[in-house]
């Protein structure tokens, strides 16, 4: 963990890192290490498929960690959730993330009980207001939320406007305008997450490229026809950083440094890193090797180039 954070700080020239997870002890350790390496830290508790009470409990626990680090002089921001309409159970129909994403694409098919407590955006914003109030009982630093681009968030209680700003074939011509419109809230605007997988045409799939996995025969492989293309990933990340600069964003977090759950393989048919978003390839034996995107992001973030 220290080695990877050191690479993020020294080789990629990043000034901040967003640390996500469901284990508050590990979040604290990683955050302490990152601060020691001179990085600003965005602590982002994330419990996929948890209910509202469990989610708020995790936010409170992470806020205590953030408060401790902030009082000790660390540059800390707390992220009180990520795309909760998809990742948390209860706001949108569906037993898992894939089912909830499908529901979001077809709200006319929702059961009536999901509208009984009011319009879905109102329910999300009531939850977020409670999350912010929970966080501020423990943490006096800046608080934000990593919103899905589709979520209609009331940014009033937050210090920073943050969206997971993926580009794909559906929003390639409108994303910059959408991001520019977020300045109306009078707060810094940050891309809490953006990225691209590692195959030709991955940019058209944006945040959903990771789903292009063939799970037949009890194995996991990239879907047939995908062609590994590190240069395409590098070009898209560089282009996105240019777009964020043009849109006046205050910062952007690349997703992601490493994805061990999508291990690399020498055989292209088995190389799951093809649909992974990491800047490095993660091998089954624990090794990592930089990809073309690693060098591209390092150049973009270099103090020599701004």
Q: What does the pLDDT look like over 137-171, one tens digit per residue?
A: 999 999 999 999 999 999 999 999 999 999 999 99
Average pLDDT over residues 80-100: 93
Q: Is 143 part of a structural domain of the chain?
A: yes
Tokens found for residue 292: 């073309």
pLDDT in the model for residue 304: 65
* CATH assignment at residue 40: 3.20.20.80
Residue 117 reports pLDDT greater than 80:
no
Q: pTM of this prediction?
A: 0.94
| CB-CB contact of 58 with 47 (8 Å) | yes
3-class state of residue 192 by DSSP:
strand
Instruction: Quote the CA–CA distance of 171 and 178 in Å, as a whole number.
Output: 9
pLDDT in tens, 120-138: 889 999 999 999 999 999 9
> Would you say residue 206 lies in a domain?
no
Instruction: Select from 198, 222, 211, 212 the least CA-distant residue to 293.
Output: 198
Dihedral of alpha carbons 58, 141, 176, 196, sign: negative
Contact 59, 134 (CB under 8 A): yes
**Is 215 a domain residue?**
no
Sole residue written with tokens 């996995």: 213
Kindly calculate the radius of gyration of the chain based on its CA atoms and give it in whole angstroms: 19
Q: Classify residue 177: in a domain, yes or no.
A: yes
Per-position DSSP letters for 69-103, written without gaps between them: HHHTT--EEEEEEESHHHHSSSSSS-SSHHHHHHH
Residue 261 tokens read as 């759950």
Per the domain annotation, does 209 fall within a domain?
Answer: no
How far apart (Å, rounded) are the C-alpha atoms in residues 202 and 221?
Answer: 16
Confirm whether 102 is domain-assigned.
yes
Total domains in the chain come to 1
Instruction: Look up residue 10 and give its two tokens.
Output: 């020294």
pLDDT at position 116 = 81
Domain containing 245 equals: 2-196+229-257+292-301
Residue 223 lies in a domain: no
* Alpha-helical segments (H) within 247-291: none
DSSP helix/strand/coil, 106: coil
Would residue 270 count as lying in a domain? no
Residue-wise pLDDT for 1-49, tens only, equals 999 999 999 999 999 999 999 999 999 999 999 999 999 999 999 999 9
User: Is the distance from CB of 92 to CB of 103 less than 8 angstroms?
Assistant: yes
Average pLDDT, the chain: 95
First to last CA, the chain: 27
pLDDT in tens, 253-280: 999 999 999 999 999 999 999 999 999 9
């Amino acid at each position: 963990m220290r080695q990877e954070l050191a690479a993020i700080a020294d080789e990629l020239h990043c000034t901040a890192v967003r640390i996500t997870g469901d284990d508050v002890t590990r979040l604290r350790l990683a955050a302490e290490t990152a601060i020691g390496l001179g990085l600003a830290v965005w602590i982002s508790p994330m419990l996929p498929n948890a209910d509202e009470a469990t989610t708020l409990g995790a936010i409170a626990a992470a806020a205590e960690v953030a408060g401790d680090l902030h009082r000790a002089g660390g540059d800390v921001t707390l992220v009180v959730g990520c795309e909760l309409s998809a990742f948390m159970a209860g706001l949108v129909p569906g037993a898992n993330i894939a089912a909830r994403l499908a529901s979001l694409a077809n709200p006319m098919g929702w059961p009536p009980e999901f509208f009984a407590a009011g319009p879905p955006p109102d329910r999300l914003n009531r939850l977020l207001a409670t999350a912010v109030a929970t966080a501020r009982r423990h943490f006096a630093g800046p608080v934000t939320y990593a919103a899905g681009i589709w979520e209609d968030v009331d940014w009033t209680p937050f210090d920073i406007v943050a969206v997971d700003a993926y580009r794909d074939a559906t929003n390639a011509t409108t994303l910059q305008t959408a991001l520019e419109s977020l300045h109306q809230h009078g707060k810094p605007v940050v891309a809490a997450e953006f990225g691209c997988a590692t195959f030709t045409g991955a940019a058209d799939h944006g945040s959903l490229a990771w789903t292009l996995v063939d799970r037949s025969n009890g194995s996991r492989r990239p879907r047939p026809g995908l062609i590994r293309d590190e240069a395409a990933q590098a070009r898209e990340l560089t282009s996105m950083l240019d777009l964020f600069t043009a849109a006046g964003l205050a910062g952007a977090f690349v997703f992601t440094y490493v994805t061990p759950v999508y291990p690399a393989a020498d055989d292209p048919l088995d190389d799951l890193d093809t649909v992974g978003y990491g800047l490095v390839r993660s091998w089954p034996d624990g090794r990592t090797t930089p990809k073309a995107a690693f060098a591209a992001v390092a150049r973009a973030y270099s103090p020599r180039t701004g």
